[in-house]
Amino acid sequence: MKTHVLAFILVLATAGASAQTFYIDWTKPNPITGKPSIASHKRDGTIRNSNGKAKELYFRYDLSGINEKHTAQLCMTLCWFLFPGEDDPYLRPGQNLTETGTLPIYIDLSTNASEGNSTLKVTLFDKTDTTDALNFEAQFVITENTSVRDAQELGVTVGPVPTTDVLSVRGEELVHATMIGLYDANGELVRSFGSPQSSSASLPLTGLAAGSYRLVMTLKNGSMVGSPVAIVR
């Protein structure tokens, strides 16, 4: 136990010197938005090895950003309910990431029929090299008001329409966007864009088929605005 405690302290002390050799491909960017009437919401992805050396992965977590009425679990090949209070990563079995393999990972947030925002902070690290670590957050915005307002109502312009390979988005509210996604006519997310951090952004559309789409931007307060997009080829 003492060895485990010392190793865990080392993780905390060397978090800034991470020699990260693995990464996660997420299916959707933060935040995940949903209604409290739905029992649970998930952020899922795939852990990938980038240096061809096998690893035994452990994790630690921070629940300080979780709404008091929400609960969460983290799953890889096994699932663990995440309890508040002191946590020892080594009480959970390590997860083997082979030389060329992958591991599934997802955060499952139970709403318990309650609105609110929740953020779970997680650090994944390799047991044999605790500086080989990856920090990530899973953010959830749980609200009954998930309707998408027209972007022009907030002064956000999207164009040109139709367009070919690049879409220009402008407006002061854009600095508050935490997620921008392009959805096809079936409501499927076909492309995610990073948070612009400015009042203008150019979004690449190369590789997408001609057709009708909808650009949806999620703001920090959980509200969403959208605008129709037409791609021609």
Q: Do 218 and 122 sit in the same domain of this protein?
A: no
Q: Give the residue from 141, 161, 193 where a domain finishes.
A: 141
Q: Give the residue from 79, 107, 141 where a domain finishes.
A: 141
Split at pLDDT 50, 70, 90, the class of 167 is: very high
Q: CA end-to-end span of the chain, whole Å?
A: 63
**What's the number of domains the chain is made of?**
2
> How confident is the prediction for the chain on average, in pLDDT?
88
The C-alpha angle with vertex 155 and arms to 154 and 156, in degrees rounded to 5, equals 95
Instruction: Give the model confidence (pLDDT) of 32-41 as tens digits.
Output: 888 888 899 9
Q: Do 96 and 191 sit in the same domain of this protein?
A: no
Question: According to the model, what pLDDT value does residue 40 have?
Answer: 92
Give the CATH number, domain containing residue 167: 2.60.40.3080
How many CA atoms lie less than 13 Å away from 129 in the CB half-sphere? Answer: 13
Instruction: Give the model confidence (pLDDT) of 187-213 as tens digits.
Output: 778 898 888 889 999 999 999 999 999
Count the neighbouring beta carbons within 10 Å of the beta carbon of residue 153.
9
Split at pLDDT 50, 70, 90, the class of 146 is: low
Mean pLDDT computed over 93-99: 97
Question: What percentage of the chain has pLDDT greater than the value 90?
Answer: 64
User: Residue 7 pLDDT > 60, yes or no?
Assistant: no
Relative to beta strand 22-26, strand 95-97 is unpaired
Count the neighbouring beta carbons within 10 Å of the beta carbon of residue 44.
16
Q: Do 186 and 97 sit in the same domain of this protein?
A: no
Amino acid in position 4: H
Instruction: Give the model confidence (pLDDT) of 48-58 as tens digits.
Output: 999 989 999 99
